[in-house]
Amino acid sequence: MTYSDQLRRLCVDIARQAGDFAYQSRLELGPGARAAHSTKSSAVDPVTEFDRATEALIVERLRFERPDDSILGEEGSSYQGESDLTWHIDPIDGTVNFVYDFPLWSTSVGVVRNGVPVAGAIHVPVVGDMYSAAIDSGAYVNDQPISVSTADDAATSLVSTGFSYHVGDERQSQADRVARVLPSVRDIRRSGSAAVDLAAVASGRVDAYFEPHINSWDIAAGVVLVREAGGVVTSFNGTDLDVNAPIGLVAAGPALHRSIVKLASD
């Protein structure tokens, strides 16, 4: 087993344990019950006790299994290690979906070396999918190999996107962008979880995904997944993506990627 595949297996093990913990917590609230939450960057950016507890579980595992590595978590966890690896973790990606008991939320665990993701896992507990990948080891869902779609025509492509929590002008410009893109593609999906969107690109369940504002913990695992599935991932304007400081993102199969960059960034 290669070193990157050992990392992939650890990503899977931790994402499974953490995602199952969050899922059990969600089930105990009851169907459709709103999870109590506070807010972060805006009144529509929630965080729950379950986000924090799930992140604490992931961090405890990583501190034990990988004590020399750095960690960066969405809910504030930050450890500076001595190794060249940094773990970017989103305990519940799609927190609004979790709060509403809408199924498309995920636990994302990715590990990055010098701004390049080397392994990752995305657990979608409600759906029962575990996606994983590692550099030069391929991409999988539930241990079955996956690949991006071969779509090459934007007009018949299924495209996902997301919107930031910044309310006001930023939100309006994102709405204007979707209004411009929609007439030029088959249809648009908005899952509410960047990790789910990237997993969908990697498995050919959508043809492309773009989002103008995104965080490292949302995408670290999904980026290696798409690339190992034969896809292309760049920053929003088509330049190289630095996962540590992403400037938006476009992910698609190689025959479609440039068209989506042009559509999204025009």
Quick one: which of 162, 204, 222, 253 contacts ligand LIP (CB under 6 A)?
162
**From its phi and psi, is residue 29 left (phi > 0), alpha (psi between -120 and 50) or beta?**
alpha
If we measure between CA atoms, which residue out of 13, 209, 210, 226 comes closest to residue 140?
A: 226
Nearer to ligand LIP, 29 or 255 (CB): 29
Residue 75 interacts with ligand LIP (CB under 6 A): yes or no: no
If we measure between CA atoms, which residue out of 217, 219, 259, 260 comes closest to residue 241?
A: 219
Task: Enumerate long-range contacts of 81-88, CB under 8 Å, 24 or more apart.
Answer: 84/113, 84/114, 85/7, 85/111, 85/112, 85/113, 85/118, 86/111, 86/112, 86/113, 86/244, 87/62, 87/111, 87/112, 88/112, 88/216, 88/217, 88/220, 88/221, 88/243
Q: How far is the CB of 164 from ligand LIP (least distance, A)?
A: 6
Quick one: which of 55, 69, 75, 90 contacts ligand LIP (CB under 6 A)?
90
Quick one: which of 55, 69, 75, 93 contacts ligand LIP (CB under 6 A)?
93
Q: Among 128-136, 137-145, 162-170, 247-255, which window interacts with ligand LIP (CB under 6 A)?
A: 162-170
Q: Which amino acid is at 12?
A: V
Total residues at the site for ligand LIP (CB under 6 A)? 13
Residue 163 interacts with ligand LIP (CB under 6 A): yes or no: yes
Nearer to ligand LIP, 158 or 255 (CB): 158
Rounded to 10 degrees, the C-alpha dihedral 201/6/59/209 comes to -10
Q: How far is the CB of 218 from ligand LIP (least distance, A)?
A: 4
Quick one: which of 4, 48, 86, 95 contacts ligand LIP (CB under 6 A)?
95
Q: How far is the CB of 199 from ligand LIP (least distance, A)?
A: 11
Contact set for ligand LIP, span 18-57 (CB under 6 A)? none
In which residue are the tokens 């309006």 written?
172
Residues 6+ apart with CB under 8 A from 30: none
Contact set for ligand LIP, span 174-193 (CB under 6 A)? 193
If we measure between CA atoms, which residue out of 233, 262, 263, 265 comes closest to residue 250?
A: 233
Q: Among 56-64, 130-138, 160-168, 171-179, which window interacts with ligand LIP (CB under 6 A)?
A: 160-168
Quick one: which of 74, 75, 207, 228 contacts ligand LIP (CB under 6 A)?
74
Contact set for ligand LIP, span 199-258 (CB under 6 A)? 211, 218
DSSP H/E element including 146:
none
Query: What residues line the site for ligand LIP (CB under 6 A)?
Result: 74, 90, 93-95, 162-165, 193-194, 211, 218
